[in-house]
């Protein structure tokens, strides 16, 4: 081949890469997806999910994904699709799971409902549907580097009154390299659309093929669109543990040195953050092993309580046999001797909770964040509206979660759910329906 022809071939290849950025992307990383849309339920059929799944499957194929997709799938068909998806994931770098249909939370876990499910109790949900955590675990086990989960499954619960069931979906603890998106915030209900697609998927289809946007930016645009279209009655929510920038539709056509430089700077920044996170985790593990007898950290634990208990019961305003409420807002547990104080009546993340507790100087000091055992101790099923004494006034709608002082690594903390007496780990920045409580040990001195 002549030198002229060689140069012509090289020029053609370079031009192809810049003209078709998604082609170069798919050559570098294999992408695979599982799409399921369930509409034809015997109880509470849905208008949009089957159409949502068909349209999402087409868009993902256009973006270079190998797609396994099912519409109106029963339990066995859903299980088989997940297993096929897992086999495809073993040879892929990017995994994408999309589900539209009925989904429920039972005892803090999320379940995706097949169209052939028959429900008489909450046990039927647990053992006759597909657990969302199972699919995420399969994605993690496959070794794929980027795992994206989209759940347009927060529609209203068709089986109300089941023991342990709640409205909408519960937050899922994301694993490293994952991005989890919900059609609405945890515990809330998403809307079906009036047209071909659901409200959430309508905006997802509009934005997912936009080049130059990272996956976080795509779903930020989706959130803005849904919020505006519903007059802010539905706010999509997501959780990310991605360590780098991932582009669904490529980085765009610029391809110039300045763009590449910014991208490399962003990658370097994210890598630095990852290393700092790993160092923080290692430091936490070192301290945990050193303490030996203490399994978790407890925030704001004072060396000794230094306050004086009320000298008399003259400032008692109410009591229910176990708990005594004082005019200053303190509630005493007469069985354990613990003093409790409910924090601000608003959504509060873990860091805000810690700051509030550390600054609390009510009737002396000694206040700290509670342990999980202490929170479980004040959980009394059937008491008040939240399974807790109403003397501890902490309103948050139907559900009440309270932060403990227990942490894991540098980003996670544990909270207790008074709706069902359950516990969960979440990011410290999470705040939806979570409240702050302070506690201190009783002292007569």
Query: Which regions in the chain score pLDDT beneath 50?
Result: 6-10, 12-27, 254-257, 293-296, 298, 300-313, 444-445
The confidence score (pLDDT) of residue 306 equals 43
Q: pLDDT tens, 41-65?
A: 988 889 899 999 999 999 999 999 9
The confidence score (pLDDT) of residue 44 equals 82
Q: Domain extents for the chain?
A: 3-254, 256-294, 316-440
User: For strand 31-37 and strand 94-100, is the pairing parallel, antiparallel, or unpaired?
Assistant: parallel
The confidence score (pLDDT) of residue 89 equals 94
Measured between alpha carbons, how far is 417 from 86 in angstroms, rounded to an integer?
A: 33
The confidence score (pLDDT) of residue 295 equals 46
Measured between alpha carbons, how far is 227 from 200 in angstroms, rounded to an integer?
A: 10
Helix (H, G, I), strand (E, B) or coil at 411: coil
The confidence score (pLDDT) of residue 258 equals 57
The confidence score (pLDDT) of residue 173 equals 72
- CATH assignment, 316-440: 3.10.100.10
Measured between alpha carbons, how far is 405 from 399 in angstroms, rounded to an integer?
A: 20
- CATH assignment, 3-254: 3.40.50.1460
The confidence score (pLDDT) of residue 14 equals 44
Measured between alpha carbons, how far is 79 from 69 in angstroms, rounded to an integer?
A: 12
CA geometry: angle 321, 322, 328, nearest 5 deg: 100
CA 303 to chain centre: 35
The confidence score (pLDDT) of residue 291 equals 57
The confidence score (pLDDT) of residue 444 equals 37
């Amino acid at each position: 081949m002549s030198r002229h022809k060689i140069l012509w071939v090289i020029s053609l290849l370079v031009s192809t890469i810049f003209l078709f950025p998604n082609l170069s992307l798919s050559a570098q990383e294999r992408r695979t997806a599982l799409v399921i849309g369930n509409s034809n339920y015997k109880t509470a059929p849905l208008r949009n999910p089957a159409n949502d799944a068909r349209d999402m499957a087409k868009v993902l194929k256009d973006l270079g994904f190998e797609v396994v997709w099912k519409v109106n799938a029963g339990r066995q068909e859903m299980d088989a699709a997940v297993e096929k998806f897992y086999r495809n994931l073993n040879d892929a770098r990017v995994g994408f799971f999309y589900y539209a249909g009925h989904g429920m939370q039972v005892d803090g876990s999320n379940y995706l409902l097949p169209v052939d499910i028959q429900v008489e109790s909450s046990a039927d949900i647990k053992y006759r549907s597909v657990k969302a955590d199972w699919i995420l675990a399969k994605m993690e086990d496959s070794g794929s580097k980027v795992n994206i989960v989209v759940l347009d499954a927060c529609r209203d619960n068709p089986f109300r009154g089941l023991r342990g069931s709640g409205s909408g979906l519960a937050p899922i603890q994301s694993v490293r390299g994952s991005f989890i998106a919900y059609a609405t915030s945890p515990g809330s209900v998403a809307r079906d659309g009036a047209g071909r697609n659901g409200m959430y998927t309508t905006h997802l289809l509009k934005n997912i093929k936009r080049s130059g946007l990272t996956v976080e930016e795509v779903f930020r645009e989706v959130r803005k669109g849904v919020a505006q279209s519903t007059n802010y009655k539905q706010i999509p929510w997501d959780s990310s543990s991605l360590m780098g920038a991932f582009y669904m539709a490529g980085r765009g056509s610029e391809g110039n040195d300045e763009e590449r430089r910014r991208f490399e700077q962003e990658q370097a920044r994210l890598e630095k953050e990852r290393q700092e996170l790993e160092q923080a985790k290692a430091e936490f593990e070192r301290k945990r092993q050193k303490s030996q007898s203490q399994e978790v950290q407890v925030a704001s634990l004072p060396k000794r309580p230094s306050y004086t208990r009320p000298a008399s019961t003259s400032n008692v305003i109410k009591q229910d046999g176990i708990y005594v409420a004082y005019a200053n807002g303190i509630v005493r547990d007469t069985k354990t001797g613990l003093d409790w104080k409910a924090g601000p009546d608003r959504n509060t993340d873990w860091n805000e909770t810690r700051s509030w507790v550390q600054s609390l100087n009510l009737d002396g000091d000694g206040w700290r964040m509670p342990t999980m055992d202490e929170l479980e101790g004040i959980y009394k099923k059937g008491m008040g509206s939240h399974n807790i004494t109403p003397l501890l006034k902490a309103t948050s709608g139907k559900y009440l979660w309270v932060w403990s002082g227990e942490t894991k690594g540098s980003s996670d903390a544990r909270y207790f759910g008074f709706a069902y007496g359950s516990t969960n780990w979440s990011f410290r920045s999470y705040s939806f329906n979570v409240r702050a409580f302070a506690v201190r040990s009783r002292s007569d001195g």
